[in-house]
Structure 1
Amino acid sequence: MKIIAVIPARYEASRFPGKLMQMLGDKTVITTTYQNVVETHLFDEVFVATDSEIIFNEIAENGGKAVMTGQHETGSDRIAEAVKNIACDIVINVQGDEPFLKLEPLQQLILAFKEDSKKEISLASLKIKLNEKEEIKNPNNVKVITDNQDFALYFSRSVIPYHRENSANIDYYKHIGVYAFRKDALLKFSQLEMKPLEISEKIECIRYLEYGMKIKMIETYFVGVGIDTPEDLDKARQLIGE
């Protein structure tokens, strides 16, 4: 089983343009992410997939592997173009703005496929428990609900489930945007038309659910810093003692 990691990276992020080229210590955010993924030694190859010559050159100049793509609405669509002609079985999508992703969650994702002898899983992803009301209500935190086998039922920026019955003991989970795909499922995904639920929520993995594909959700306890705003970048710099 050949397992690769692909980091989708676009320069013009809507909330923080150019964030991947911001400095984090003595390296850019995207180079930090790339090198941290390589150093896990979990993958046969690691690539950055980008439509930006600036990011492409940044990775190449630092000895990494980058693939130029066209423009895409979602990271999964970008990765599908990047891996079309790369021989592999499993593709792990690591977000370029998550420079501190740890080894254990990636190992958990890979293990899910190695144990999936019936090949029921098209896609696996991560979730983490939310405890603060503000975090649960925050629409920037995508929430996920699952069935008894931890397959996703739905994702939303709204609060799900709605806590109508106060006596019910409900846990809330945030979806962490690290995906592991079977290559054939990823290529199929990229050919599927966006439906209204995905368009409304702007959550790409809803497309899988709308077309009947199974998403295995794996709980993790890792809390990192996703860099979506300048304030997040400040937090990341504090983590490395800058």
Structure 2
Amino acid sequence: MKVVVIIPSRYQSSRFMGKPLADVLGKPMIQHVYERVLQSKTAALAAVATDDRRIFEAVEKFGGRAILTSPDHPIDEVVQPLLEDWTVDFSTLVYRIRRDEEVSDPNAVKVVFDRDHFALYFSRSTIPFVRDRGKKADYWKHHGIYAYRKSFLVAFTRLPQGMLEQLEALEQLRALEHGYRIKVVETAFDSIEVDTPGDLERVKALLAGRKP
């Protein structure tokens, strides 16, 4: 089985314009992502898919593989067939939240799942909600890394958006709304979502060996 990793990269971000080209210790952030992917033992090939010429040229400059797409192409069309589990169509990673501030942070997407580790719901809100004082809950953060079967991804791109996806702005909810199951796999590694300049500073500190 040949695993191909496609890294979607957009310049036009409402929260952090030009994020992929932000300098992180002398390299654009997209280069750090690309190099981490190539360190994977399962990835046979990696490529950056972007609709922006600046990102395309930056990737080629550091020797990476880049694909220039149309600005009208939805991210749904980017195929990332990391087919590690043949019993499910769609899987993703979750991380147990350890910092209290992330529980209420809408940029940290939370997920609840059943005993078989299939997702029940994803939300920017705090889930589960603890009604009674004195009770504690485990909170899980969703990492935006997916593995799909190609057949599922083709079907997924044809599904209409549902109300939940539109309200939460979370595309994985489209799968749940249409009856698909999403397998969640716990990882011991946290990640920093770079959505603001403040997040970028945390990444710089982490890569420099300082506490973010």
Q: TM-score, normalised by structure 2?
A: 0.90
1:178 matched to 2:145? The reply is yes
Aligned residue for 2:115? 148
Counterpart of 1:124 (choices 67, 75, 91) is: 91
1:102 is matched with: none
Give yes or no for the alignment of 1:188 onto 2:178.
Answer: no
Contact 2:143 2:191 in 1 (8 A): no
Whose helix proportion is higher, 1 or 2? Answer: 1
Aligned equivalents of 1:234, 1:216: Cα separation in 2: 32
Contact 1:69 / 1:78 at 8 angstroms: preserved in 2?
no
- The residue aligned with 1:225 is 192
Count, aligned residues: 209
Residue identity matched to 1:183: K
Structure 2 counterpart of 1:24, one-letter code: V
Q: Which residue of 2 aligns with 1:4?
A: 4
| Aligned-partner residue type, residue 207 of structure 2 | I
Is the counterpart of residue 213 in structure 1 residue 203 in structure 2?
no
What is the alpha-carbon distance in structure 2 between the residues aligned to residue 33 and residue 135 of structure 1? Answer: 23
Q: Is residue 130–residue 136 contact of structure 2 (8 Å, CA) maintained in 1? A: no
> Identity percentage over the alignment?
37
Which consecutive unaligned segments of at least 5 residues does structure 1 have? 84-89, 93-109
Helix, strand or coil at the partner of 2:81: strand
User: Does the 8 A contact of 1:123 with 1:215 survive in 2?
Assistant: yes
Deviations 1:125-166 (A, max 9, x none): 111112343211111111101011000011111111111134
AA matched with 2:81: V
Q: Aligned partners of 2:73 and 2:170: how far apart in 1?
A: 11
The aligned residue for residue 42 of structure 2 is: 42
Query: In the TM superposition, what is the alpha-carbon distance from 1:168 to its structure 2 partner?
Result: 4.6
* SS of alignment partner, residue 14 of structure 1: coil
Matches of 1:191 and 1:126, distance apart in 2? 24
Whichever residue aligns with residue 14 of structure 1, its letter is S
Deviation at 1:72, TM superposition (A): 5.3
Aligned to 2:81: 91
Residue of structure 2 equivalent to 1:24: 24
Q: CA deviation at 1:73?
A: 8.2
**Which amino acid in 2 is paired with 1:238?**
A
Distance 2:106 2:74 in 1: 18
Is the CA contact 1:49–1:78 (under 8 Å) kept in the aligned structure 2? Answer: no
For residues 54-93 of structure 1, the aligned pairs below 5 Å read 54-71=54-71, 75=75, 77-79=76-78, 83=79, 91-92=81-82
* Corresponding letter in the other structure for 2:53: E
Encode CA deviations 1:147-200: one digit per residue, 9 max, x unaligned: 110000111111111111346542111111111111111111111111111010
TM-score, normalization by structure 1: 0.80
RMSD: 1.9
Aligned partners of 1:124, 1:183: CA distance in 2, in Å? Answer: 13
> Is the CA contact 1:74–1:204 (under 8 Å) kept in the aligned structure 2?
no
Counterpart amino acid of 1:239? L
Structure-2 residue corresponding to 1:165: 132
Q: Structure 2 stretches of 5 or more lacking a match?
A: none
Whole-Å separation in 2 of the counterparts to 1:21 and 1:40: 22
